[in-house]
Amino acid sequence: MLETRSLPPGITRKTLAGLVKEVDGREAVLRAMVHRFEQRYGSLEKLDARLERGQGSEHPDWEDSIEWRNAVEILRRAQTMRSLFEWLQGLTKQLPSS
């Protein structure tokens, strides 16, 4: 069981709220990137299949594939971070006001 004695030095409830807000903004940017690629190519799988058949161009299709894949991975990590920060916020409700 995790003890909730106090937050680490320099971390406050306000800090956690700011981190959640920052991650939300990052997620919005990444979702917009993914949406732009989806509009252009349909799906990452379709783009990859086209590139494997030699139907894509190096510029910009290969770069878009790499950027899209990176955006999906970073979005997944950002969602994990947001979940962790929100979980920590829930724990801080048990702490005395600081």
Q: Specify the pLDDT at position 49.
A: 94
Write the pLDDT tens digit of every residue in 47-72: 999 999 998 787 889 999 999 999 99
Write the pLDDT tens digit of every residue in 12-43: 889 999 999 999 999 999 999 999 999 999 99
Contacts by 61-69 with C-beta closer than 8 Å and gap 24+? 64/37, 64/40, 67/33, 67/37, 68/33, 68/34, 68/37, 68/41, 68/44, 69/44
Does 2 score more than 70 pLDDT? no
Q: Specify the pLDDT at position 64.
A: 96
Domain boundaries, the chain: 34-89
For the whole prediction, is pTM greater than 0.85? no
